[in-house]
Each structure stands twice: as structure tokens, then as C-alpha cells.
Structure 1
Amino acid sequence: MATGTLRKPPQAPPLFTTEPLCILDDAKRLLDQSRKIQTSVIESVDPSTATFANTLLLLAHDENIRQKEAHVLEFYQHVSPDEELRAASRQVEGLVKDFSIETAMREDIFKLVEAVSAKNEDLDPQSRHILEKEKSSYVRNGLGLPAEKKERFKEIKKRLGQITIEFRKNLTDEKGGIWFSQEQLEGVPKDDILGFELGEDENSGQLRVTFKFPDVTTVLRHAANGDTRRQILIANANKVKQNVPLLKEALVLRDEAARLLGYSNHAAFRLEEKMIKSPETVNTFLSDLRSKLRAKGLQEVEKLKELKKIEMESRGESFDGHYYMWDDKFYQRLMLLKEFSLDAQEISEYFPLNVTIQLMLEMFEKLFGMEFVKIEGKARDELAGTGNGNDIVWHPDVQVFSAWNAGSNDEFLGFLYLDLHPRQGKFGHAANFNLRPGFVDADGQRSYPATALVCNFSKPTATKPSLLKHDEVVVLFHELGHGIHDLVGKTKYARYHGTMCVQDFCEAPSQLLENWCWSPGPLKLLSQHYSTLSPEYFQVWKDGQGEKNSRTSKLPQQITDDMIQNLIRTKNVNSAIFCLTTLHVAIFDMTVHQPDSFEAAADLNPSKIWNTLRSDIMPTEGPDSQGDGDEWGHHEVTFGQLVGDYDAGIYGYLCSQVYSLDIFDTFFKSNPMDATEGRRYRHMVLENGGSRDEMKMLEDYLGRKPNSGAFYRELGCSETPS
């Protein structure tokens, strides 16, 4: 269980006690060591004597050690409360990126890799995989270019690395917000209001809504004042304008680099190594999905318009016939409440954060044959080795678990960290970060992974624990899915550990687990009403009964079957609008990465393209329909993925959904808690990470080629192209 038997892991967790100057020194030491090993290989081996063992294996072992340390050093920028440490961590990322570019363009190493490949040694599958990928990566990094073009390619790669770091820094360090009066925030729940900063002096009596995800979302969902919702949406879309020129520069440089290598555009370059190999296939998939969903989305909006008209007239306001993007979360919530008796706030009372995590981990223990043990108190002090348990976390709020194989063998799997609440300087959305990859070291011993869930759920108040909306439960499942993928990985090489697989598959394991949040049995198992946690919480709940006439003095400890059924009935309500939102980002991503020429790339106006596509794809109206023009906002530069590893890859969220729904529909739909199937899936898919061809791995697991039937059925569409 998640409170299982405490035992000492065979490997200590990382310590988070460093200083800004120290992590720079550590990074330089790591990279100098790697350069020495590269030099040693070059001096001791030539193409005639090069083998996998004396060349690639030595370099791979060095990469394993480097990633084991560097991942932690680069992680500080996303979570550290210390601004100097975050800045130093970004410098480390820059050093590591520059080193990677330097290594990827070493002609002397490339010649050895080519020689090893030509010898066609009898290698184990993972070693064969790394050899093939390594040879390909050198070619894709400009080794076949003439000297002048090669130098330009190197300059481009370095500048792109700098852009990525600066772009993400702007997002992480963003401190904006808007002051609203109590009246402007009418409808926002009291618990959320308590979390807003109360103004002083010129802002006396006002409340500050930040651009952090929980704040923006709660205002868009609950504020009855349409102008309030409009203000927060537009301001949030303009919160990091300094990223606008950075994205434009990145798009131009990517296009230039792709053309230097002989590709028609950046998308063609990026997709060559994905599961879907060509932009044409992706474009067809996205276009077909768009044609299926557009009409359905318009129908969904017509129903929401009817609700908006009724709601506005009930408040004595006239309805002008428009349905704006800032209306959507508000009226979708009202629809669920009025048509399905689904109150998101009431549902959240059954999902107190810490209890939900405990029950979620227990669920994964049963499904995947794992055991989680929370490390706290004296056990944390002892594990730290310093006597201070806070040394193994980067912030006091962070929880730590050790993960083990279930059974009597006491096989250690790794460490799981949970950093769940927002704070200044912290990564602003939800993500999983690998802190240490798993691998087999030069002595044949296993080095175990450490993985962190970084989320931004509301903090507990003085009277209530942190309560998760159902969609936040889904987010938690999704990110923990990445964490499980990380923990159970059993690859030889760090670069293929866990989630380090191709982008158009790596989301599938996490999206698969989202389905458990829509299944009656798991939902029941996950729930416990917060009022049952303590007499104090019960009194708070009881005192609040007057807010809802339907409440009684007694309630079940777990969520009721009626509430579960109502919740499940809403799963695909307005699903076209939801899917079109992702589709919009994916089509934008493919559009800006497929210009007809380099000149066309230089002429791109990403914000205009983003807003124009939004108007064409989404059934909701935007500020442009009110005469604000097609550059009213720059929401595209709030997506870190577009400059990170998801360039020309956002479509992967949709493709992964195809794979995940196919798996769930085939193996888990009838019994989500089938432990036999859970273990088979763990061993055949999750443990492999990126060490196998992902499509072949998926076909072996399914026993056939994947198909999109379940995906289109979920959306209420026919599978055949329109």
C-alpha cells in the first residue's frame, strides 16, 4: 500500500542542497569528464578497430552518468524558490545544450560510429537500437554538410537552445495579474476567493487574480460578469509578449536548418523519426478530424447559446446572439449543472487532494504490481544521510515516495516526488519531470530512476483541504501516468528510459490512464468526502449546508452511484469543442512549420496565423469578431511546448489518443482493474521506454495494427473519412 512497510532503498535519492555557483561547477565538471572520455575513445580507436564495446558502449555509459546528474541540475529552473538558483539552472541547460550540439557534430566520432555500424556486430536489441539511432542523429545534425553550411547549422542549433531557455524563463518568471472588485468576481466560490491576494492602498478592497492556471480557470468558470471573463482571458493571452519575437525567430531558424539538410521544411525533418513519418499523413489526419468536428462543434455552441440567453435574461440582461471564447467554460459548467445536475464544486468535495493521491497510488499498486511507501519524518532524515530530511526535496511542500515491485522480492523501482501547489517562480502548469533516468551501469548494476510530478492545484485553506475538481483528478492521473512510465522502465541506456520515446506515442500511456477517471469502479475507489476526515472538517461542511438546500445532515463517505453516473454521462458533452481546441494548436503547429519557402518562413506572422486559425476552426467567437483585429492576443507564446520538444509534434496528443483509446477499449474497458492485463501492459509496453520501435512494440502488444475506431466512436463520429 501507499503506506506500506518502510525499508531502505538500495540507492540514495538526489540531494537538493546546492548553491548557484556549485551547480555551474558541477555542470562544467560533468561536461569536462565527458570530453575526456570522448578524447580517450578517439585516441585509442580508429575505424578499423572500432567496435560497439570500445566505442559506443563507452560513450553510452558516460551519457548515462551525465544524464543522472544533469537532469537534477536543469530541474531547479522549474521549481526552486531561489531566483538565483533558477537562473543558474538555466545556464546549466545552456551549457548542456551547447555540449550536445558540439558532440553531435564531431566528425571524428561520427566516422567511428559509421565504422561500427558497417561491421554489423551481433548485438542485443537495445544496443542495436542505440547504434542505429546514433548513426542517424549525426546525419540529422549536419555531418554530411560542407564546412560553411555545417558551421551555420551549428550556429542555428546553439541559438535555438538559447531561445528555448529564454522563452521558458519568461513563462516561469511571469508575475502578472489583474485587480478585480468583489462585485466583478460575483459567482466565484468563496474558497477560491480566499486564495486571492487582498489589495491595499489604491487597490484596497480589490482582489488580485494572477495568471496562474488555477486562478484563470476558476474565474473563467465561475465569474458571472462576462466582461470580467473577457478581461482575464485577453490579459492571460498577452502575459508574455516578450516571447513573440522569440517564437518568430525560432520558426525562421528551424526552417533554415531543415533546408540546409535538404528537407522541404522543419515538419518534414521532425516527422522523419516519428511513428507517423510524413507531414502529409499528419495533415490528412488533422484535416479529416477538423471536417468531422467543425459542424458538431457549431451544434454544441447553439445549445450553449440557448443557455446563455436564458441565464442572461434571468439577470435582466439582453442576449446579443453571440457566444464568445470567454463564455465557454462558464456556460459549459452551467450546462453540466442544469442538464446533468452535476455541480463541480460538490463533486470536488469527494476528492481531497492528499486522500485522492493515496487512493490513486493504491489503485496503481493493484493494477501494475507495485508498492509505494511514503518517506516522511525520521525515515526522511535517515534517507537524506545529512540528518535533515528537507535536503532530499527542493521545497518543504514536496512529498517523496519510494516505489517497489509488489511481492516478496523487495525489488526497488525508484523515487516518486509530488510538488502539487502553485508558488512564485514555479512551473505554471502540470508536468512530469525525470530527475534521474534508469539504466545499467558499466559494472552491470541497475541505477534507479527518480521522477517528479509538478502541478498547480489549489492550496488548502484554514477550514478545508485542497479539493480537486474532476478535471484536476484527470490531470493528476495523466501526469502520474508519466511517472509510472518512468518508474517501471527497464532500459539499459538512459536516453531511452521511461517516457523518452517518440512524441507521437509518449502521451499514450498517460492518456490511457485518464480513462480510469471515467469508470464507475475506479471513481468509487478514489473518493472520500472531506467531511469524514476529521470532526473539524465535518463541522465546516455542516455549517455550509445552508448554501445548498439539497444537502442533508448525513452523506455517504464515497461518491454516490447517481453522482458517478451523472459524471460519466458528461464525458463527451461538448467533446467536439474540447477536441477542436487541441486541433487548433496542432494545425497551427503544422502550419508554421511547413512554409512553402524560406522567404515565406521569414514573412510568417505567428500571432495572426494563430488567431485566424482559431476563428476558422473554433465555433466560439473571439475578440476579432468585436473589431479587435487578428492580433488581439498572443496566446501561442504561452505554450512552452512550441519551443521545447513538441515543435511539429503537437499532433502527437491526438495520435496518442488514438492509441490509448484502442488499448483501453480492447483490454481494459470491461474491467479497468484487471491486474493480469495491467502487468502484461507494464511488461510489454511501459518497461521498454523508447528502446524499441514504438509501432512494432504497440503491434506486438495489441496483436494487430492499431486502429482509430475507438477514438472516433468516443467523439461520436464515423471512422470513415468525410
Structure 2
Amino acid sequence: MAPAQYRKPPQLPPKFTATPASLIEQTKKLIDRSRSVQDVIVKDISAAAANFENVVLPVARDDNKMAIESHIIGFYQAVSTDQKLRDASTEAEQLLDDFGIESSMRQDVFDLVDAVLKKKESLDPESQRLLEKDHKSYIRNGLNVPAGPQRDRFKEIKKRLSELSIAFQKNLNEESGGLWFTIDDLEGVPDDVITTLKKGDGEHEGKVWLTFKYPDLFPTLKYANKAETRKELFIQNENKCNQNVPLFRETVLLRDEAARILGYKNHAEFRIEDKMAKLPKTVDDFLGDLRTSLAPGGKKEVANLLKIKQQDLKERDINDGMNDKYFMWDHRYYDRIMLEKDFSLDQQVIAEYFPLQTTIQGMLKIFEELFGLVFIEIIGEDREALAEGGKGSDIVWHEDVQLFSVWDDEGEGAGFVGYLYLDLFPRDGKYGHAANFNLQPGYIDENGKRRYPATALVCNFSKPTPKKPSLLKHEEVVTLFHELGHGIHDLVSRTTYSRFHGTNTVRDFVEAPSQMLENWCWTPSQLRALSHHYSHLSSDYEAAYKESTGKADAGKPAEKIPNSLITNLINTKHINDALFNLRQLHFGMFDMMVHEPASHEEIEKLDISLTYNKLRKEISQLDGPEALEGYDFTWGNGQATFGHLIGGYDAGYYGYLSSQVYSTDMFFTVFKADPMNGKEGRRYRHTVLEKGGSKEEMQILEDFLGRKPSTESFYKELGITK
């Protein structure tokens, strides 16, 4: 049971008790209420009488209330085990999107907002930003296009784009494919992966079902000794959602058409206008410069890895005629072998020191020390009490979900901060990657009272077994830190309006806070603090560990990860770094290529799959199936699995690389010398994270750094001399 002062948060957590019917009914009520707010404003307020308080504020407050329910309504489709509830969530999201388009194109409301802007009232900075953003949003939604066929076409496109986005993501969430392999096919794959796989019967007797979910996919690509197994898995994974191919194509065509209706040269110009980069040329120059800088390093890394491959095949007496090729499905495998041979780095051994639950506890402790927070897990009686007459299970959406109340420590005032949910294991129908979802934003209500946020981490780590807990590879520790970083941004944000809450920043900044926190996963003292060998968790795990080593009388390993292992791990931080960043560069340049055509005809003629694969080969420098007989560059449809480009990162994927510039600058300038400096951590919390999107992001950076951001640390970290 939680300490007494943490048992009664001032705000109850949301309930997850919706039915398919109630979701739709609730959605329609929200829409009716919101439409009524707008109708009343238009009916009662003239342009002459319009001001911020009677036009913009009522809509902003309605947006606040809408978000409290609408985010959860749409969340069910990413996490529910009930197909009907997921379908209803999808239908509800479509209704909300359609209403959003209707609202964003109301000429009568825009006329009043325009009148307010022209009056130049004296407003607080966040309210002024809200007014300007709202006004610009109406224009970007077509209200500068004369009423008539063109505006009607623009609205039609917006509705269709919404339908495409929802269908695309639904296909990804519902994806349940995989391949049947024999145990022999999977030679080299760790036993704790194979033992969790579904066993075949009938025509598949003696085989196991390997899904495309991360806990199956990545270890197989990393450890399967047979190149044919890795190749088949890689190619099929790139074709796992081929029904999304036409949806992706239609999306980029419609985006381009819509941008041109608004008077932009292309979708990239439209999207980047209100980001930190401002112009596509800035993005193209940045990506082009990076490509030029990284290419030599990538070439060198491929040459080194190819030598390792050739030596490995020679030792295994394999000559398949492909000894001079370094394939995409070779990379995880030989990258791992290089780390093991040259750096004595065994990721399986390192993972033994990072059981999921103790790692989470360690991470939360770091955030407590750094940002002045307290995390209290809500279990048992406390969960029942917060269900307010219902069952404790009502305040989570699945039995695996962990729930925490988050508080300020004494130094920060001991107040309530919000709720954090962790949904960490894969299941059918669940969102397949790792992400942070805002469930309820924070804001100040009409009575001046703070509304507290709720945020969820949705990940797909391997499930525990009777012999082993869920063990995290180091790269998964980094992923968890990254997503929890988004969650912290969401929790500690303090904005007046939900519009600016938490991670509601421009896309080329939003990743920077989380990327900066990844550095703690490469800091010796923090790695050691996070570590806890799983054999120390219970006598059963200790026995299972000894059994796995074949030495029943062997002693337990040290509880904390040895310094020698930490040193080996940190020495690998930049190994094959150029290839990793070239992979990101491929995504970013492909994104720009499909959203920055010189003409609409150009994008109409573009073979998107061919472009995706050809660009991948050119930039990543790795061979794909096109190097084999019987294949060409249309061998796969990776863009059909690229949810980012449909879900908000369109003409914005470069943000992962550009925000790395800001995150590296912040870490090296402020935290490198003393990563656990609580004074600087709190300053970072209040100067950067608290602001959300309520202030110009460049100004937020300058306030924190005391100067304009610099690329120097970024290029230095990559080993590039500028």
C-alpha cells in the first residue's frame, strides 16, 4: 500500500470501461457539444464585439474538455484485445476527424477569429500564441481559398486523407502475419525466443510460427545462422502490409494536390513552413550535408563487416556465391558478431543485468532525482479505492498494464503531477512499435484549477517465462528511456491550454528531449545503477540461471553489471554509427522525395516502391534482393509499414536527425560533466519540458543553453570534422 500522503490524488484516473456502443454514443455527444459551442458564438457575437474572451477562449476550453475524452476514445484501437472495441474506436476516430475538418473550415468562426486578431488586444504570451496559431490553422485549412469548387475539393481531400490514415494504421495494428520455420532453420536463435513460439501441427508439424513482432523478428535477424532464414524473414517483413501500398500512394498524391490548392509548391513546403526549419531547402541542405559527411564512414563500415562475413562463411565452409555481397539481412547478424569478437560484447549476457521491472524502477529513480518527482505504483487496495465504486481493473485497459501516480518531491512542492501507465508486452491487435500516447492533457480550467495529465507508454518487449523475467537488450533499455522521456515531457508540462500541452511541439523539436535522455543509457554510473542480474530476483530464477549455465554448483554472478562489461558496451557506442545514421537518412530523404515533387505529374509517375528500395540501396550502401537473380528494385514495399509518414511525421521525419543536433548540444553543454546534477535537471524541467509548445521552440532552446544552438557537438559525436 502507498504511503498515506500519496493515496488520494486530487484527480481520479480515467476508467477504461467503454463498450463499442458507448464509444460511438460518447463520440457523438462530444461532437454535438462542441458544435453547439461554435454555433452559439457565431449566433451571439458580431465581428465588432468579438474579442479573445468571447470567441477564442470558449473554443479553447471546449477543446480542453474534448481532449479529456477523445484521446482515450482513439486509444482503444491501439491497445484493446476486443476486435469490436478496436473497430468502434476506429469508427469514432473517423467521426472526430470528420468533425475536426468541419470545424477547421467554418468560415463564420474564422471571420470572428480574424476580427479578434486585427483588434490586437493585449494578451498574455500563451493566449497570444493560441490566437495566432488558431488563425493560421484556419488559413492552412483552406479558408483563404475562395468558396467554390476548389475549396470543396480541398475539404473532400482532407476527409479522404483522414480515412486513409486511420485505415493505414489499423492495418498495421491488426497485422498478424509470420512464417513457419523448422527448428533447424532457426539454428543460432536463443532458446528463450524459440520456446515462446507457437508449435505447428498437421502440415506444419515440427515447425514453429515466427511472427513479425519485434521480440521474434529482431533476435532472429540478429542470431539466425542461416542466411536463407534471415533473407526470407527480412523480405516477408517488408511485405507484411501490402494492402497499405495503394493507401500510401493515394495519400502522397492527395497531399500534393491539397498543398497546391493552398498555393504551395508541394506538401513539404506546406508542412515545413511552421516548423523550426521553415523551408524545405533548409531540410534538404541538412540531409544532403549529412549524407556527404556519413557516406565515407558507411563505405568503410561495410568493408569491415564484409570481411567478417567472408571469414565467417570460410570457417563454416559455406560458398553460396554471395561472399562478395553484404545484404540488408546480414547487417544485424554481422554487426552482432563484430561486437562479440572485436569488443567481447555479448548482448545476451548484458541483457541478464537488465530485467524489465528492475530497469523500470531504476529509470524512475533517475527521473526522481533529476526532475524532483516521486512515482508511486497503484496496486491492490489502492487501485480498488481509485476505481470509485468500480473494480480496480476498470482503471486499466489490460491486466498487464502498470499504473503509477506521479508527484512532486518536497523540494518541488509535494503536489500531484499526473498518471503514468506502462503497457509493455505484445499481444494480438496491439500497436506494434514503441510509443508514448497522451491519454488526457493537462491545462487550466475555467475556474483557474489545474487539470492533471495521464500518459501511457506502449511497448513490445518479450514476456517473462517461468525461467526468466523479461530481459532487455541494451538497445531496448535505450528505447524504454526514450519513450519514458516523452512520458515525462507529457507529465511535467504546465500550460494554460491543452493545445500546447507536453509533446505538442513542432515535429522537428519533439524528439529532442527524449533523445537527450538516451545519453543516460551510455553513462557508466547510471548503467551500473540500473543493472540487477536476474538471478538475484528469486531463488527460482537463480536455479534456472544455474541450469542454463550447466553448472549447478556455480555461484551467482555479481548483482550489478561488472565495470568491464560497461566499458565494453560504451566502447561500442559509435561502432557502425555511420550505417545507423544512413538508415535514418534514407527514411528522411525518402520522406522529402515523395513530398517535394517539382510538379504533380512527377509524383503521379513516381514508382514509390522502386524509389524506396533504390534510395535505400544508394544511401544505406547495403545490398537488397535486387542484387539476386530474379529480383529487381520492386522486391518489397517498406513504405507500407512506415506508420510515421502517415501518422504525423510527413515531411518531418528529418526531425529525428535535426532534433539530435539540439539534444546533443543540450547534453554536452549542461549534463555531460555531471549527468545527475539535480539543480540542472530541475532547470531543464522548468525551462524546457514545462513549456510544452506554449513558446517558440527555438526560444526555449536559447533560454536553456544561454545561446543559439550549435551543430558542433552533434558532428563531434558522430566523429565528423566540420
TM range (shorter): over 0.9
1:686 alignment partner in structure 2: 689
2:418 alignment partner in structure 1: 414
Report Cα offsets for 1:169-199 as digits up to 9, x if no partner. 1101111000000001000001111111111
Partner Cα separation in structure 2 for residue 418 and residue 97 of structure 1 = 27
Aligned length: 717
The answer to whether the 8 A contact 2:2-2:382 is kept is no
One-letter code of the match for 1:288? D
TM-score (norm 1): 0.98
The answer to whether the 8 A contact 1:509-1:660 is kept is yes
2:266 alignment partner in structure 1: 265
Partner Cα separation in structure 1 for residue 197 and residue 579 of structure 2 = 30
Among candidates 612, 616, 619, match of residue 618 of structure 2? 616
Partner Cα separation in structure 2 for residue 386 and residue 342 of structure 1 = 52
Q: Is 1:524 aligned with 2:524? A: no
2:191 alignment partner in structure 1: 190
1:544 alignment partner in structure 2: 548
Q: Is 1:131 aligned with 2:131? A: yes
One-letter code of the match for 2:287? L
SS of the aligned residue for 1:156 comes to helix
1:588 alignment partner in structure 2: 590
The answer to whether the 8 A contact 2:23-2:73 is kept is yes
SS of the aligned residue for 2:263 comes to coil
2:294 alignment partner in structure 1: 293
Report Cα offsets for 1:194-226 as digits up to 9, x if no partner. 111111111111111101122111110000000
The answer to whether the 8 A contact 1:438-1:446 is kept is yes
Partner Cα separation in structure 2 for residue 3 and residue 610 of structure 1 = 54
Partner Cα separation in structure 2 for residue 36 and residue 511 of structure 1 = 42
Runs of 4+ residues over 4 Å off in structure 1 = 1-5
Deviation at 1:547, TM superposition (A): 8.7
Deviation at 1:546, TM superposition (A): 3.4
SS of the aligned residue for 1:161 comes to helix
SS of the aligned residue for 2:690 comes to helix
Name which of structure 1's ranges 135-144 and 618-627 shifts more when overlaid on structure 2: 618-627
Among candidates 669, 673, 678, match of residue 670 of structure 1? 673
Partner Cα separation in structure 2 for residue 689 and residue 493 of structure 1 = 10
SS of the aligned residue for 1:403 comes to strand
The answer to whether the 8 A contact 2:419-2:454 is kept is yes
Deviation at 1:387, TM superposition (A): 3.8
Partner Cα separation in structure 2 for residue 56 and residue 620 of structure 1 = 53
**1:184–1:213: structure 2 CA closer, same or farther, 3 Å change rule?**
same
- 5+ residue gaps in structure 2? none
2:650 alignment partner in structure 1: 647
One-letter code of the match for 2:524? P
Q: Is 1:394 aligned with 2:376? A: no
Partner Cα separation in structure 2 for residue 581 and residue 600 of structure 1 = 25
2:241 alignment partner in structure 1: 240
Q: Is 1:178 aligned with 2:179? A: yes
Report Cα offsets for 1:424-474 as digits up to 9, x if no partner. 000001000000000111111111100000000000012110000000000
* Correspondences of 1:97-496 after superposition (within 5 Å): 97-147=97-147, 148-318=149-319, 320-407=323-410, 409-496=413-500
SS of the aligned residue for 1:544 comes to helix
Partner Cα separation in structure 2 for residue 3 and residue 687 of structure 1 = 27
Partner Cα separation in structure 1 for residue 202 and residue 314 of structure 2 = 37
The answer to whether the 8 A contact 1:2-1:362 is kept is no
The answer to whether the 8 A contact 1:5-1:373 is kept is no
Q: Is 1:558 aligned with 2:560? A: yes
Partner Cα separation in structure 2 for residue 203 and residue 486 of structure 1 = 47
SS of the aligned residue for 1:691 comes to coil
1:44 alignment partner in structure 2: 44
Partner Cα separation in structure 2 for residue 120 and residue 5 of structure 1 = 46
One-letter code of the match for 2:250? E
Deviation at 1:314, TM superposition (A): 1.5
Partner Cα separation in structure 2 for residue 575 and residue 547 of structure 1 = 38
One-letter code of the match for 2:248? L
Deviation at 1:553, TM superposition (A): 2.2
- 5+ residue gaps in structure 1? none
Deviation at 1:539, TM superposition (A): 1.1
**1:330–1:7: structure 2 CA closer, same or farther, 3 Å change rule?**
same
The answer to whether the 8 A contact 1:2-1:358 is kept is no
The answer to whether the 8 A contact 2:68-2:439 is kept is yes
Partner Cα separation in structure 2 for residue 263 and residue 552 of structure 1 = 69
* Correspondences of 1:25-64 after superposition (within 5 Å): 25-64=25-64
**1:93–1:547: structure 2 CA closer, same or farther, 3 Å change rule?**
farther
1:601 alignment partner in structure 2: 603
Report Cα offsets for 1:308-343 as digits up to 9, x if no partner. 111111212136211100000001111111111110
Partner Cα separation in structure 2 for residue 386 and residue 392 of structure 1 = 11
Report Cα offsets for 1:590-636 as digits up to 9, x if no partner. 00001111111211221111011011111211001114101000011
Partner Cα separation in structure 2 for residue 507 and residue 313 of structure 1 = 43
TM-score (norm 2): 0.98
Partner Cα separation in structure 2 for residue 389 and residue 535 of structure 1 = 30
The answer to whether the 8 A contact 1:188-1:223 is kept is yes
One-letter code of the match for 2:85? L
One-letter code of the match for 1:533? L
SS of the aligned residue for 2:369 comes to helix
**1:453–1:717: structure 2 CA closer, same or farther, 3 Å change rule?**
same
One-letter code of the match for 2:585? L
The answer to whether the 8 A contact 2:442-2:498 is kept is yes
Q: Is 1:510 aligned with 2:514? A: yes
1:575 alignment partner in structure 2: 577
Partner Cα separation in structure 1 for residue 530 and residue 139 of structure 2 = 49
**1:83–1:461: structure 2 CA closer, same or farther, 3 Å change rule?**
same
Deviation at 1:555, TM superposition (A): 2.1
* Correspondences of 1:697-716 after superposition (within 5 Å): 697-716=700-719
SS of the aligned residue for 2:84 comes to helix
1:78 alignment partner in structure 2: 78
Partner Cα separation in structure 1 for residue 644 and residue 573 of structure 2 = 26
Partner Cα separation in structure 2 for residue 312 and residue 385 of structure 1 = 63
Deviation at 1:282, TM superposition (A): 0.3
SS of the aligned residue for 2:405 comes to strand
Partner Cα separation in structure 2 for residue 382 and residue 494 of structure 1 = 28
Report Cα offsets for 1:357-381 as digits up to 9, x if no partner. 0111011000000000000001001
One-letter code of the match for 2:626? D
**1:3–1:460: structure 2 CA closer, same or farther, 3 Å change rule?**
farther
Q: Is 1:660 aligned with 2:663? A: yes
SS of the aligned residue for 1:413 comes to strand
1:94 alignment partner in structure 2: 94
Partner Cα separation in structure 1 for residue 608 and residue 439 of structure 2 = 33
Partner Cα separation in structure 1 for residue 608 and residue 12 of structure 2 = 46
SS of the aligned residue for 1:401 comes to strand
Partner Cα separation in structure 2 for residue 324 and residue 2 of structure 1 = 53
Partner Cα separation in structure 2 for residue 44 and residue 711 of structure 1 = 54
**1:547–1:596: structure 2 CA closer, same or farther, 3 Å change rule?**
farther
SS of the aligned residue for 1:141 comes to helix
Partner Cα separation in structure 1 for residue 584 and residue 26 of structure 2 = 40
Report Cα offsets for 1:669-710 as digits up to 9, x if no partner. 111111000000000000000010101111111111111111
Partner Cα separation in structure 2 for residue 656 and residue 48 of structure 1 = 43
